Chain A
Amino acid sequence: MKPKKLNFSLEELLHLKRCEMPREEFWEAFEEQLHRKLALEIRRKRSFSWTNVLDILYKKWVHWFPLATCLCVFGFVVYAQCFRVEKLSSRFVVVTEDVICHQALKQFVLSVDQQLSSVPVRNLVSGSQKMVAMDTCKRFSF
């Protein structure tokens, strides 16, 4: 059924909604319940827990996080660059030492080889020692 037309304007109709409020008894119960929730909140605030600590730390450091990330990335890049240079230079040192200390190395390898050949075959259980000796001889091809 079509409702009977009223003389309201839209604004007047919406203003009526201001009267849609609970009665006084409701507010007493509401406040009581709210106070209980607030008391719980206060107790939670005062009690110690790791989540609280993490929460505080997070809140305190959250503003520093982007800066710290930038610093970490920058540090890593710098370290990686230095490491690369060091690696290159150490290889170079090895090569030069290889040339300079060729004689000493030759003597060392020969002594290892002698020692290995004096060990009875049954003692070479893993075979790794022999392999090392063979590998050394092959690599340096004396």
Chain B
Amino acid sequence: MDAPPEISLDEENILAEQSAEEDHHWIRRVKLGNVRAFDFLIRKYQRRLYSVVYNMIANKVDAADLTQEILVKAFRGIHTFKGESHFYTWLYRIALNTTFSFIKKSKKTSHYSLENWDDAEVQANILSHSNDLEMGDRATLLKELQEKLNEALQKLSLNHRTVVVLFEIEGMSHTEIAQMLHCSEGTVRSRLHYAKEQLKQLLKDYLKDYEA
């Protein structure tokens, strides 16, 4: 299969601008009273929001509830969105604040409930990184790896976990993260560095050539 064509930085910027314009168009319609227009925004962002929340709390049931709560909050407050920043920055800020308060509230009662990880992409990835393993071993390893990875992420502090989730898993830039968290880019970079060091230490048995 052919690899997808690479997108240059300029093209990426153009796409981002188009996406922002599209968002503003739908937001204007919602503000004018067209409730159905919010559906477009829901479909566009629900998966990304779910992913952030899920990776922050490692519980799929709570993540679904929280994502819904975030979208309802966004709908309630859409009239206060002035368009000074990107809509997704605003939305992610609501998501992070809601998730933070949830984590603080349920600190002592947290438990994991993980998503299925038997996706073809993961299978292929694991296969390419563990040629000498049999099928049965691979499935066990897959489960173990997922658990360890989530456990390691949950061991990070809230600030460090947020930066890792947004940068490494969601693929956001340092600037975007800094805007969302109201801190400098330097702070984001240093948090990311520290968090990665901690993760490497926690996952050293699964990583190649890692020496503490």
Q: Which of A3-11, A97-105, A128-136 interfaces with chain B?
A: A3-11
Query: How far is it, in angstroms, between the C-alpha of A80 and the C-alpha of B52 when the chains are bound?
Result: 58
Q: Let me know if B92 is at the binding interface, CB within 8 A.
A: no
Q: Let me know if B130 is at the binding interface, CB within 8 A.
A: yes
Which parts of A1-48 form the interface with B (CB within 8 Å)?
Answer: 2-23, 26-27, 30-31, 33-34, 37-38, 41-42, 45
Task: Write the nearest CB–CB distance from B88 to chain A, whole angstroms.
Answer: 17
Task: Write the nearest CB–CB distance from B124 to chain A, whole angstroms.
Answer: 10
* B207 pairs with A8, CB closer than 8 A: yes
Specify the chain B residue showing the minimal Cβ separation from A23: B116
A34 proximity list for chain B (CB < 8 A): 42, 46, 68, 71-72
B46 proximity list for chain A (CB < 8 A): 27, 30-31, 34
B71 proximity list for chain A (CB < 8 A): 34, 38
On chain A, which size bracket covers the interface? 20 to 34
B133 proximity list for chain A (CB < 8 A): 4
A23 proximity list for chain B (CB < 8 A): 116
Specify the chain A residue showing the minimal Cβ separation from B133: A4
Specify the chain A residue showing the minimal Cβ separation from B125: A16
Which parts of B24-52 form the interface with A (CB within 8 Å)?
Answer: 35, 38, 42, 46-47, 50-51
On chain B, which size bracket covers the interface? 35 or more
Query: How far is it, in angstroms, between the C-alpha of A84 and the C-alpha of B198 when the chains are bound?
Result: 69
Number of residue pairs A-B, CB distance < 8 angstroms: 110
> Which label, helix, strand, loop or mixed, suits the secondary structure of the B interface?
helix
* A14 pairs with B169, CB closer than 8 A: yes
A45 proximity list for chain B (CB < 8 A): 76
Query: How far is it, in angstroms, between the C-alpha of A5 and the C-alpha of B207 when the chains are bound?
Result: 6
* B125 pairs with A5, CB closer than 8 A: no
Task: Write the nearest CB–CB distance from A49 to chain B, whole angstroms.
Answer: 15
Query: How far is it, in angstroms, between the C-alpha of A35 and the C-alpha of B60 when the chains are bound?
Result: 19
Query: How far is it, in angstroms, between the C-alpha of A23 and the C-alpha of B60 when the chains are bound?
Result: 12
* A10 pairs with B129, CB closer than 8 A: no
Query: How far is it, in angstroms, between the C-alpha of A8 and the C-alpha of B205 when the chains are bound?
Result: 10
* A38 pairs with B207, CB closer than 8 A: no
Q: A38-B72, A38-B75 are in contact. Are A7 and B130 (CB under 8 A)?
A: yes
Q: Which 6 A-B pairs have the closest CB atoms?
A: A14-B168, A20-B115, A19-B119, A7-B129, A19-B122, A7-B208
A-B contact pairs, 5 of them (CB 8 A): A7-B129, A12-B125, A19-B119, A20-B115, A30-B46
A8-B129, A17-B169, A30-B67 given. 7 additional CB < 8 A pairs? A4-B137, A5-B208, A6-B130, A10-B207, A13-B149, A20-B117, A34-B72
Give chain B's interface residues, CB within 8 Å of chain A. 35, 38, 42, 46-47, 50-51, 54-55, 60, 64, 67-68, 71-72, 75-76, 114-117, 119, 121-122, 125-126, 129-130, 133, 137, 141, 144-146, 149, 164, 168-169, 196, 199-200, 203, 205-208, 210
